Amino acid sequence: MSAQQTDCIFCKIIQHQIPATIIFDDSHAIAFLDVNPLASGHILVVPKDHVEQLIDLPDIIAASIGSVLPKLGRALVQVTGASGFNVLQNNGEVAGQVVPHVHFHLIPRSTDDSLGYRWNAGTYNDDQMDQLCVAYQQALL
């Protein structure tokens, strides 16, 4: 039994209260077509439990969703004929998350799709990487 939130659009889709083009459905996750696709065949993969962000997702659900991504990616490439695809997962408004229910975008890509993907990458000074590494390792204990 999964836990939903009444005012969440994705929970409503999961409960079949509003229509969606559902292409995959198992005990932990569903996948459906994004209604406003960045490219034709754009898929959203969504855990059935209402969880707002990736950091809130229990390991077992995360593992279950992770295990279906390759299969959905293969289907996306086969069906759309895409040369590749992006997996995009936004957390928080500042990162572009509009629907506060964890979801993974699978976005078909082709050579001249003009979607773009380049972000402005920075650099590190001196021992910043080593300091970050220590901080991350401690946070992960």
Binding partner of residue 32 among ligand 5GP, Zn ion, none, CB cut-off 5 to 8 Å per kind: ligand 5GP
Binding mask 11-50 for ligand 5GP (x = CB under 6 A): ---------x-----------xxxxx-------x------
- 28 counts as binding Zn ion under rule CB under 5 A: no
Are 48 and 29 contacting, i.e. CB atoms less than 8 angstroms apart?
yes
* Known catalytic membership, residue 42: no
- Measured CA to CA, the distance from residue 100 to residue 15 in angstroms comes to 17
Provide, rounded to whole angstroms, the least separation between the CB of residue 49 and ligand 5GP: 17
> Of 42, 50, 101, 103, which residue is the catalytic one?
103
Provide, rounded to whole angstroms, the least separation between the CB of residue 102 and Zn ion: 9
DSSP structure class, residue 49: S
Are 54 and 91 contacting, i.e. CB atoms less than 8 angstroms apart?
yes
**Six-digit token string for 16:** 């079949």
Q: Pick one of 2, 4, 8, 9: the residue that binds ligand 5GP (CB under 6 A).
A: 9
Binding mask 33-72 for Zn ion (x = CB under 5 A): -----------------x----------------------
Among residues 58, 115, 55, the alpha carbon closest in space to that of 82 is found at 115
Phi, psi torsion values for 110, nearest 5 degrees: -140, 165
- Measured CA to CA, the distance from residue 56 to residue 44 in angstroms comes to 18
Tell which positions 63-102 bind ligand 5GP, by CB under 6 A: 90, 96-99
